[in-house]
Structures are given as structure tokens and as C-alpha cells.
Amino acid sequence: MAEAVSAPVFAVQLRDVWLRLGREVVLRGVTLDLPGGQGATLLGENGAGKTTLLRLLSAGLRPARGEGRVLGFDLRDGRAVRDAVHLMPVDGGLYPDLTCEENLQFALRMHGQPGDVPGALRRVGLDAAAARRARFLSAGMRKRLALARAHLLARPVTLVDEPFANLDDAGRALVQDLLGELRAQGCALVIAAHEPALARAVAPRTLRLAGGQLREESA
């Protein structure tokens, strides 16, 4: 395991990070400091690299150049980073043949931690669907289940890709409530979204990706 850097340790630190996918340079000289407990909304056009940046921060991709750390651990130390980060992809990343309850139980077992699965399902309004396989859920219900998993795991860094998609007003309010609770517990959030106003309610810092470069915007 890579050695953690000395204090202070940011939740996320990137220094001049470049990333290439095939022949395409997707990220160009990205630099970022994100303290623990801070929330950042990540904006950008389709194809700008928002999902790619989230995958990088969760150790799903490795930088071609530059340095990156999560909670002091090098991004190239995949195991340490994955222990600290939870990525909620746009499709939820659920196991379709497992029930709602089984999806949450499996997530807890994978991380070796206890958790109140029935309570998490109630919190997102899926208690009546606990025994339903994820493949038979509506898009909005799958989003709620993925959100319940993120809240149940409560990793120090939570990355969320388009959390408001396929949700009605009540579902979007629930997303804001649950992500706000994570921040209140000290979790650092990065939310990639096409709904800036909704995301900024819980992640007021605003970052924009364009041309592979990351810059900060005023709210």
C-alpha cells in the first residue's frame, strides 16, 4: 500500500494531471484541491470528460502524467483509493439479478462493514420493493437504490454521476437531502450534473470541464 502523505491531507489533490484514452487526450493539466466535507458541482458539455474524471478519482483509470491523491493515497494505489471512495455511476452500478435488499447487503459485505439495510430502503422509499430484483425496477427506483447504497456506505469521498436524472421533484429533493447528510458527516462530494441549481444546493463549489481543462467558476 502506498504511503500516505503528511498532514494536511485533502480529500482530493490533483497536480497537472493528464489522461489519454486511446489517441485522445481527455484531461489536460487538471489541478484540484478538495478538502474533506466540501462539495463540488462538476459541469461540462456531453463528452467533456466529467465521467472520466470521476473514474480517475475512483482509481478506475490511471493518469498518464501528473500526480493525484485521495486522502493522501496515490491514485495508482487502487486498493487504498477504492477503500476511501464510492462512485455512484449514472446507471447506478447495481447488480440486476440481486434484489434491492441483496444489493445493499452485498455492498456492505464487500466493504466489511455493518449497516441498517431495511432502514436505508425505507429512507429512499423502497421498503416495499426490498425483494424485487433490480432489473425490474424503474429508472427512478434504480437511482433511489443506488443512492441508498451510497448513503449506507458513507465513504469519505463520494462521487456521483448525474444523480438527478430520471427522478421527479420528490426524488430530486431526496437526493439533495441524502447528499447533504453525507456532507454533514464530513464526506467530500463531487457531483457531475446537468442541473447546476440542484447540485449547487449541496455542492456549492462549481468546477467546469471544457477542452479537457478544469477551471473554477463563481456560483
* DSSP notation for 152-173: HH--SEEEEESTTTT--HHHHH
Distance (Å, whole) CA 4 – CA 1: 9
Strand order in the sheet with 12-21: 24-34, 12-21, 65-70, 73-74
Interval 160-197: pLDDT, tens: 999 998 889 999 999 999 999 999 999 999 999 999 99
What's this model's pTM, rounded to 2 decimal places? 0.91
* Three-state DSSP class for residue 105: helix
The angle at the Cα of 120, spanning 117 to 124, to the nearest 5 degrees, equals: 140
Interval 50-103: pLDDT, tens: 999 999 999 999 999 999 999 999 998 888 999 899 999 998 899 999 999 999
* Three-state DSSP class for residue 5: coil
Asked whether the predicted pLDDT for residue 9 surpasses 80, the reply is no
2 contacts 84 by C-beta, under 8 angstroms:
no
Residue 219: what pLDDT? Answer: 59
Percent of the chain with pLDDT over 70: 95
Rounded to the nearest 5°, which phi and psi values hold at 16? 50, 50
Residue 7: what pLDDT? Answer: 44
- Average pLDDT on 127-137 reads 97
Using pLDDT thresholds of 50, 70 and 90, give the confidence band for residue 2. Answer: very low
Asked whether the predicted pLDDT for residue 6 surpasses 60, the reply is no
Q: Which domains are seen in the chain, by residue range? A: 12-217 (3.40.50.300)
Rg of the chain (C-alpha set): 17
